[in-house]
Copies of this chain bind each other. A is one copy, B any other.
């Protein structure tokens, strides 16, 4: 339990550390309803501790500002109404310094919790809150990149661009048919959607150690990838046409060379590196073109000890659905994952924007198949 306290403070500091390169103005804009401004991430992660721990467990607690409950709730219907998602970027006040004050107020009161009221139940909520904040650390990065990309002057966030590196192996790994166990095991933290360890039967399959590179993806483009309906799922083909796609998100051709916007500014694409920011539709089209397929999340989890992973989130050909015996948690935490189990596809692995110690091979990330703004790439199977 002491570990958890240390980890609380480290996580909280890390979030603020991520904001250091930001100009004051960068805390506000929100380029789409599916991203949030940095200020909102800063506040919402504090709100989470306030709502789930301070309000129910700290008897002497007085809320920092009762209006924050409305302003910084994300999607928890059980915790009351909230501002419309698309309007998060319109809330200029409270100011950024007030949000930092709010964070420190929460931290101060959490320290009282740790000293006087800490118990197993709270420890588990703290662990959830830490992991929740780590998820928002990654979103802060990916959302910022998305919003920055609308600025024609290509703002630079830092020297770190969070893009994946190169492959270390190009081998194919063979896995034998059989009954395998899936889902989280042991004492460590996991989300409810990883629980309910259970068995699946897998037929023989092969999975690639390499992830698809920019160079390979450019081959797909050059072979008419975006103009041939044969490669695409039907919904993917409509998405492609409706958005007039000619390349992945953030790409721009300059003097016949592909460039892309990165958090270090506009850069020429390095063909040897692993390709990121693909939608599921693009991943599936690429796999069809390459005469392979995407793995299922069960295949991936079984093969994962044999793979190098952690460079990019990897799109699985698995819909995000409950495991057998999945149980919705009681209270607000029950809204964390279960209600999103429709119309989303699973990503496995993690990216370079994922918080340290946050990734594991049972982790189930999930996004709509059109989503491109995560650091998401392709691993092939057959």
- A: residues with CB less than 8 A from B are 23-31, 39, 67, 70-71, 75, 77-78, 83, 87, 89-96, 147-148, 150-153, 155, 177, 179, 198-201, 203, 205, 229-230, 232-237, 280-281, 284, 293, 317-319, 321-322, 324-325, 339-343, 345, 369
A275 to chain B, nearest CB (A): 20
Closest residue on chain B to residue A81 by CB atoms? B152
Cβ-defined contact, A153 with B93, below 8 A: yes
Task: Decide yes or no: A29 and B90 within 8 Å by CB, A234-B339, A236-B342 being known contacts.
Answer: yes
Closest residue on chain B to residue A202 by CB atoms? B324
Interface centre among A92, A147, A152, A234 (most CB of B within 10 A): A92
A167 to chain B, nearest CB (A): 26
Cβ-defined contact, A229 with B77, below 8 A: yes
For A280, list chain B residues within 8 Å (CB). Answer: 342
Partner of A321, one of B23, B148, B179, B319: B319
Copies of chain A in the complex: 4
Closest residue on chain B to residue A67 by CB atoms? B153
- Inter-chain CA distance A64–B234, complex, in Å, is 30
Interface of A is mostly: mixed
- Inter-chain CA distance A199–B147, complex, in Å, is 46
For A321, list chain B residues within 8 Å (CB). Answer: 317-319
For A89, list chain B residues within 8 Å (CB). Answer: 29, 89
Task: Decide yes or no: A205 and B93 within 8 Å by CB, A153-B67, A235-B343 being known contacts.
Answer: no
Cβ-defined contact, B90 with A151, below 8 A: yes
Task: Decide yes or no: A90 and B229 within 8 Å by CB, A199-B201, A205-B324 being known contacts.
Answer: no
- Inter-chain CA distance A377–B91, complex, in Å, is 28
A148 to chain B, nearest CB (A): 8
Partner of A230, one of B24, B71, B77, B92: B77
Cβ-defined contact, B324 with A343, below 8 A: no
Cβ-defined contact, B201 with A71, below 8 A: no
Closest residue on chain B to residue A205 by CB atoms? B324
